[in-house]
Amino acid sequence: MIVFDKPKSLSDVPLHYCPGCTHGIVHRLVAQAIDALDIEKDTIGIASVGCSVFAYNYFECDMIQAAHGRAPAVATGVKRTHPDKIVFTYQGDGDLAAIGTAETVHACTRGENITIIFINNAIYGMTGGQMAPTTLPGQVTTTSPYGRKPEIQGNPIRICEMLSTLEGVAYAERVSVDTPKNVLNAKRAIQKAFQNQIDKKGLSIIEVLSTCPTNWGMTPNDALGWVRDVMMPYYPLGVYKDITAKGGNK
């Protein structure tokens, strides 16, 4: 009896990500959700710009590749014209929280009935390790070589907390993929984020604390430890908004 196998809606294509990069885990969780809900044939995924730019090659559903930051607007165009289809975006921290902040906030405030998967690894991976809006104070990156200085470069942005203040957000949860237990919890949250769309609840966003072993200069296992020890205190895991929970908000 097969207990674990590659999900059907994850393409039979080797992933280009670095060894130990958690993009691979999250791609699989999204594909597992699509399989579990049997929605592949009605799903359109919007790939963004970052390490995950090739996401259009990795999922078996129809895919659209959007400009940097614009995925929620492109998703709006697809969802509003095809309300019975399932539309998700898959975005990194530069895409969603820097150049795309307006598109993110306004898709949320309009309550677009879509699912946003937000990969927060506190750095810009694809372009070689620059500071992200989610880079932590003191964190060394190629554009904060002496460590991020809040007095010059500002403080990191907490997306789940910020977006949970908007009416149109039905569900905002921050999860992590640093341990099997957390991966399984992330799987549950991502599936719920898709189920919400099927149930027409509004916008669901799952922020996934992720690693970038290459640009953090760590082994994959050490990188998971960094998520646990350094990222989680600043970005606490948990549900920030859930209109489906008893009593409404978290």
Partner 1 sequence: MNKVTFSKDLCKGCGLCVTVCPKKIIVIAKDTFNLKGYHPAEIIDMEKCIACAMCATMCPDSVIKVEKNV
Partner 2 sequence: MSNKVLMKGNEAIAEAAIRNGCLYYFGYPITPQTEIAEYMAKRMPKVGGLCLQAESEIAAINMVMGAAASGVRAMTSSSSPGISLKSEGISYIVGCDLPCVIVNVQRGGPGLGGIQPAQSDYYQATKANGHGDLHLFVVAPASVQEMASLTGTAFDVADKYRTPAMILADGALGQMMEPVNFNIEQKTDLPQKEWAANGHGGKRKKNIVNSLYLNATELEKSILKRFERYKEIENNEIRFEEYKVEDADIVIVAYGITSRICKSAIELARAKGIKVGIIRPITLWPYPKAALKKAAQTAKHFLVVELNMGQMVDDVKVSIDCKVPVSFYGRTGGVLPSADELLAEIEKINGGLNK
Q: Which positions touch partner 1 (CB under 8 A)?
A: 1-6, 10, 14-15, 17-25, 28, 179-180, 183-184, 213, 219-221, 224
**Shorter beta-carbon distance to partner 2: residue 43 or 144:** 43
Q: Tokens 């953090």 map to which residue?
A: 216
Residue 5 contacts which entry, partner 2, partner 1, none (Cβ below 5-8 A, type-dependent)? partner 1
Q: From the CB of 205, what's the least distance to partner 1, in Å? A: 22
Q: Are 14 and 174 in contact (CB under 8 A)?
A: no
For the bound state, the minimum distance from the C-beta of residue 16 to partner 1, rounded and expressed in Å, comes to 10
Shortest Cβ 123–partner 1 spacing (Å): 17
CB of 108 to partner 1, least distance (A): 29
User: Amino acid identity, residue 210?
Assistant: S
Which neighbouring-strand residues pair with 173?
206, 239
> Which of partner 2, partner 1, none is residue 97 near (CB under 5 to 8 Å by kind)?
none
A 10 A CB-CB count for 207 gives 28
Query: Six-digit token pair at 73?
Result: 């607007």
Binding site for partner 2 (CB under 8 A): 40-44, 46-47, 53, 56-57, 59-67, 70, 73-82, 85-86, 102-103, 105-106
Please give the structure tokens belonging to residue 33: 């959700």
In this structure, what token pair is assigned to residue 112? 């677009």
Phi (first) and psi of residue 187, to 5 degrees: -60, -45
